[in-house]
Chain A
Amino acid sequence: MPEASADIVRLDGAEKHFGAVRALAGVDFHVRAGECVGLVGHNGAGKSTLMHMVAGTLVPDSGQIAVRGVIEDNYSVPRAQQLGIRCVFQELSLCPNLSVAENTRINHPALSGFGWRRKAADLIAAKLDEIFPGHSISASDIASDLSIGRRQMVEVARAFTVTQDPLELVILDEPTSSLDAHTAGQLLAFVRRFVAAGRSCILISHLLGEVLGNADRIVVMRDGKVVASDAAKAFDRDRLVTTMGGAEAREKIAAEIATQKPEAGPLRVRARPARQEDGNELVAHAGEIIGLAGLAGHGQTDLLLAIFAAAARSKAGIEVTAPVALVAGDRQSDGIFPQWSIAQNIGIRSLARLRSGLLISPQREAELATFWQKKIGIRTPDMNNNIFSLSGGNQQKALFARALGSDAKIVLMDDPMRGVDIGTKLEVYDLVREEAGRGRTFLWYTTETEELDNCHQIYVFKNGRIVANLRRDELTEKKIIQSSFGDAA
């Protein structure tokens, strides 16, 4: 087959910015007919953004997309559907209140008229039988009654059903994340058959073995760029990990951290994740900065919230010996009080200390706010302005001030640096280390590996469990990746 026209999809110089964040920095990417492309990279490397473009849910800021050699100017989801490009996204997207058959109908307007439900049921049942023989899912089951694994099976099967539109390329974003080994094997075998029949597939997975074993070609992304693209045979596990992680040595704040490892102060937190089956547990002493690492959403936030709740009401498996404050990462839903001034937003965690007699003293509240404005550098002419008068980074500083200005000896940080500019980050890192030097304990969940350089001890999470416990001097990005992908361990 001639090279050019064999491309199902080709993106040239695709760029995407979200505000100040550059998610994709000029990416060239293509998928040939009859090819399974494996796509790997860290959280935030740009994989999802790229796939959203292929699926038509995001439009590139610049660059062009061509399908079967024809440049598409008004590319969109319906257009992608017409051209036979489907996507199974990570977020499960079945309507929970509808049956499996009804969910199938949503993607197939052609199933209309009398008895459409029957037709949809036959369609999805046949596909489920083909991909997952012996699946025991009925087309009349309501989606919300199915286990998460079965929902994922339905979702995958639905993407492969065909009525009027053709089917050329299916994007599978973490398709096996909720499947057990057996069904995952069934799916991957089906993908091989699908590809052998001349169709194409993009496989995104954090299980590197899965990608190495099933992709024809592997594309590695880092920091919004494609850093490697080669036949799967040319990769092995180590080369993948090194390519993803960036082998070049980084500047480490770490030297400082490594040298001044605090002598073990009194115990502050001892916690075992709810799903932990072995004896691993998180232990934090006074003065320590503890990192919670691993892929996003693998139980780090859950453990922080459990520790937070345990501070107020004792809970089995979690021991907390001092007051706790939390710095939210999702500012709008977990942190900000939109009606209030900056000063009030800072003071809320410390109301009891701001009282004189029964009443909150406005003077003390203002003093607290001014102190932290200076200390953490909140850029505003007046701390009595509404919190939304601040930029995102400064709002986040106000949330830090709320926690650090409180009586809390333990500060939980739920990936608080999301969407914060680098200048603010560096200021806050310094402050965190300084406060730890004064005996505060920090539990710091972060998705950015560089931030772990600030930590004395790192716990790596996978599937709601602690899978590794690294001292600062043992920390390498490679180790973290290896633990969080852990299928070879």
Chain B
Amino acid sequence: MASLRLLLAKPWIWSFIGAALVWLATVTFTGGYGGGGMITAALSLAVFTVIVGVGQMFVITLGPGNVDLSLPANIGLASAVAMKVMDGNDQMIAVGLLAALACGMAIGAANYLLIWALRIPPIIATLSASFIIQSIDISYGRGLQIKPPPGFADFANRQILGIPVLAILTVLFTIGAAIALQRMIYGRSVLAIGQNIRAAWLAGVNVGRIRFLTYTLSGALGGLDGALLAGYFRGANVDIGNEYLLASIAVVVIGGTSVAGGKANVPGVWGAALFLVLLLTMLNTFGVSAGVRLLLTGLIIVGVITAAGGQKALR
């Protein structure tokens, strides 16, 4: 009983409860049919939101005004870079992944350079960076869909006992991220900066370096996500990352991370990503038209954020 109350006090539990409810509703509607397949599909798709969501979470935790809006463009460019470097050749998979990572890191570092050197608010800096990145992507990829090597596409779609391999790896990655957030100097510093950047500086936190690392990390995760998406969907294109602009922010917020900064959690990103994917599946199953589906998605996100925001009026 006491442990249940402790569990309910966690800010991330609500996103999982939401995901479970949505799944139940859908399964009830279909009369029990396709429940397992639904989870597999949800896991496969949620992975991509989780990866960028974790990057976005660290950025948002840096405090008010910090957000990475360049993720969609970043994902698009990195997917093209990865596919071109792999060039349909199984031998080049690792090199291609590294290239995508490097591409993302460069974008993240450039973002911070704009913020730091030109003192532009992050929201503007990352938005304008994303226009530049998109133009590069268009001229670099020439708008063509580039196919992944068969081995990579295989890997991105492989499952073990109905669980996607990517999902397992991503779980491991998020465990690492959670440890970094709570138990490493890096994570503590991010949390400190998000609560009070001046106090963090005066307490000896290397504010500039931590912010640089965070934007670079977010960029790197965007790059990795781009490569994986291209593998999963069997091809790179400019628009492949578009839906991750809102999704990456939504999962952070729904997951119980404070938009005001300084308070974050990793499990919530998973819960929220599953919730969003399952929500879409549910609305599809109910046969709701596309317009209504978007409307409902928006309303539900607003509702969740309002509900989640109400409980932590600490100050």
Contact = CB atoms under 8 A, between A and B. Distances in A.
A339 B185 contact: no
Interface string B145-186: 000000000000000000000000000000000010001110
Contacts of B195: 337-340
Contacts of A110: none
Contact of B203 (A312, A348, A355, A388): A348
Contact of A339 (B184, B189, B263): B263
Contacts of A355: 185
A360 B262 contact: no
Interface in A323-353: 325-326, 328, 333-340, 344, 348-349, 351-352
B10 interface: no
A359 B199 contact: no
B314 A333 contact: no
Contact of A351 (B185, B196, B198, B263): B185
A358 interface: yes
B188 interface: yes
B295 to A, nearest CB: 35
A406 B179 contact: no
Interface string A288-325: 00000000000000000000100010000000000001
Contact of B199 (A337, A344, A351): A337
A333 B196 contact: yes
Given A333-B198, A360-B183, A338 B188 contact: no
A406 B204 contact: yes
A339 B314 contact: yes
A333 B184 contact: no
Interface string B261-286: 01100000000000000000000000
B142 to A, nearest CB: 44
Among B196, B198, B199, B263, max chain A CB count under 10 A is at B199
A339 B179 CA distance: 18
Given A352-B185, A359-B184, A335 B263 contact: no
Contact of B198 (A312, A334, A340, A358): A334
A337 B199 CA distance: 7
B192 interface: yes
Given A328-B199, A348-B205, A337 B262 contact: yes
Interface string A351-385: 11001001110000000000000000000000000
Interface in B8-32: none
B202 interface: yes
B191 interface: yes
Indicate the size class of the contact surface on chain A. Answer: 20 to 34
Interface residues of B, number: 22
Interface centre among A339, A348, A351, A388 (most CB of B within 10 A): A339
Interface string B69-110: 000000000000000000000000000000000000000000
A337 B192 contact: yes
Interface in A61-82: none
Interface in B245-303: 262-263
A348 B196 contact: no
Contacts of A308: 202
B5 interface: no
Contacts of B198: 333-334
B262 to A, nearest CB: 5
A326 B198 CA distance: 12
Contacts of A338: 195-196, 262, 314-315
Contacts of A312: 206
A459 to B, nearest CB: 22
Contact of A336 (B199, B204, B263, B314): B199
A46 B79 CA distance: 67
A337 B202 contact: no
Interface in A391-443: 402, 406
A349 B192 CA distance: 11
Nearest to B183: A359
A340 B188 CA distance: 10
A334 B202 CA distance: 7
Nearest to A305: B202
Contacts of B205: 348
A46 to B, nearest CB: 30
B202 A358 contact: no
A352 B186 CA distance: 11
Contact of A349 (B191, B203, B315): B203
Given A334-B198, A334-B202, A337-B196, A348 B315 contact: no
Interface of A: 308, 312, 325-326, 328, 333-340, 344, 348-349, 351-352, 355, 358-360, 388, 402, 406
Interface of B: 179, 183-185, 188-189, 191-192, 195-196, 198-200, 202-206, 262-263, 314-315
Given A328-B199, A337-B200, A402-B203, 5 more contacts: A326-B202, A336-B196, A336-B199, A339-B314, A359-B179
> Lowest 10 CB-CB distances: which A-B pairs, in order?
A359-B183, A337-B195, A351-B185, A348-B203, A326-B202, A349-B203, A339-B262, A360-B183, A349-B204, A339-B263
17 contacts: A326-B203, A333-B199, A337-B200, A338-B315, A339-B191, A339-B262, A339-B263, A348-B188, A348-B200, A348-B203, A348-B204, A348-B205, A351-B188, A355-B185, A359-B183, A360-B184, A360-B185
